[in-house]
Amino acid sequence: MSPALIPWQHRWRVLTRPDVLGLRLRHFLGLGERVRERLRRAWLAWTYQKTPAPVTVYIDRPAHLTNGPQRLEAHLDPRDGLSTKAVRQTLQAYWPTDAVVILILVRYRRPPLLAARTDAEVHSWAAAPEVRAKIPGPESPLIALLDAALRLPELGIRVVQVGGPGAVLVEEKEMSGEEKFLSKEKIFTSTEIESASTEDKSFSTETTPSVAWVVPHRGHAPWLGACLARLVPQLRPATADEALICLDEVPNLTTRALRATFPMCWFGVLRHPGVGPFVARQLAAERTTCHWLLFQDSDDLPCADRAALLRHTAQKRPAIDALGSHELRLDYLTRKVIPVRFPLNASAALRVAMGHPALFPTLLIKRASLLAVGGFATHLRFALDTHLLLRASFEWQMHNVDAFLYVRRRRTGSLTTDPATALGSPAREEHRAQWRRDFAAVQAGVLPLAGSSLAVRRGPEYELNELEEL
């Protein structure tokens, strides 16, 4: 047999397994839903030409609540297809406990099964009148409104799914010797999330797993400041939680000022910077003693309920090694705000294909699980998060909650948009092709993981480096 055909033979062995066939069948049966969604988008785009004005809805705080704003002002764009009744019901259940917050309203859709899915652009939002007075009006595009809002350090951001069951957890179950994962629906209201966070603060460090936020940084310092302003309130003072800010550049006056502004964060700088984020992530994981690592890119933002919901889910599902979420993408290249959903069972999706079932910066990962699979390779400046997830997929249980907890900026000059390292660039595709072949061979059992291109590789960029306190 020709060597070129061997990878296909390997994939065929994997694709004909009963669990893989079952997941592909479920994906195929969802074709009708995807077609209906496309028709719905086309209809809304056509009708929008006749009714271009957004609808403003005022919603009062539920009588049984004492925290949060007295009233929310919701601006509903017809292109989103959100009914006023559904928005009222959802916000009544998801009433924010903090008044200074902006809510992005996203129409609920079922998560995908096999890989990430980019859904329709969103335009609708809600905020308290006092917040509304500080930001541009509803006539502005949502990305311009959010860009201005996120410059206010006191303003939190949350994403609310309208018309759905809320956050979905995953539950492990043994079935016929093969691990299956069933979804169990559970609605998390803002009150429950706040309660979970309060309970965490009342526990001792022996009973509550500690969390270390790992934030590599290189580039625009004001974005790091905006990130930390929303990260620090999620640290629990009564526990051993940490925030490790890892600078992959020579510190400047702005980053030193941020260190003084956020004294509860630990700032470290690489002895030899400019080697990419994976060296910093690996050294931070080795430095901390926290049970969990919560990753965050410095040019992105955590939603206000991110840490509480991920912690709550992880504590109830101790078998999970890595837990992520959907992303709300602020696309500065197209000037759109786009929801991106991921499969709830990322492990099952990776068993079917080497796709994109989780966004790495959204993940909460057990530190012991990360170190058990060797940690990060560091020989490249890009794509090694995918490299880690492929290697770890043979050992980990990886899942996503059905909630938007992460705001990601897609911008020029990042590793995923720079022509030299962008998605689809020759540099990435060369490595991706090799990883795809070896991933299929390891799955088929004909190549040991340690002897494949997915094994950990490190060089002087790691061996001769160190995180030194700023």
- The Cβ of residue 37 has, within 10 Å, a number of other Cβ atoms equal to 15
**Per-residue pLDDT at 82:** 92
Whether 249 and 220 have beta carbons less than 8 Å apart is answered as no
Predicted pLDDT of residue 352: 83
Residues 354, 121 contacting (CB under 8 angstroms): no
Sequence letter at residue 427: A
Q: Where are the alpha helices (DSSP H) in 235-378?
A: 253-261, 277-287, 306-316, 346-352, 367-372
What are the angstrom distances between the C-alpha of 122 and each of 37, 137, 162?
14, 16, 12
CA distances from 44 to 47, 121, 162 (A): 5, 12, 17
Distance from C-alpha of 16 to C-alpha of 22, rounded to nearest angstrom: 10
In the prediction, which pLDDT does 14 show?
63
Which pLDDT tens digit goes with each residue over 80-128?
Answer: 989 999 999 999 988 998 888 999 999 999 999 988 999 999 999 999 9
Buried/exposed 416-442: b ≥16 CB within 10 Å, e otherwise: eeeeebeeebeebeebbeebbbbbbbb
Determine the pLDDT at residue 172. Answer: 35
For 255-284, letters b (16+ CB in 10 Å) and e give beebbeebeebbbbbbeebebbbbbbbbbb
pLDDT at position 353 is: 76
Burial status of residue 448 (CB atoms within 10 A of its CB: 0-12, 13-18, 19 or more):
exposed
Pick out the chain residues at pLDDT < 70.
1-17, 19-20, 23-24, 28, 31-32, 48-52, 166-207, 416, 418-423
Give the whole-angstrom CA distance, residue 317 versus residue 169.
Answer: 9
Per the CB < 8 A criterion, the answer to whether 106 and 160 are in contact is: yes
Q: Quick one: pLDDT at residue 373?
A: 97
pLDDT reported for residue 207: 56
Task: Report pLDDT for 196.
Answer: 52
Residue type, 186: K
Q: Which helix (H) or strand (E) holds 101?
A: strand 101-107
Q: What is the DSSP letter of 158?
A: E
3-state helix, strand, coil in the chain (%, to 5): 40, 25, 40
In angstroms, the CA 58 to CA 65 distance is: 17
Nearest to 366 by CA among 147, 252, 212: 212
Q: Which two tokens stand for residue 321?
A: 């090694």
Strand arrangement, sheet containing 124-127: 55-60, 71-76, 124-127, 101-107, 156-162
- Residue 412 has which token pair? 């020029």
Neighbours of 21 (CB within 10 A): 12
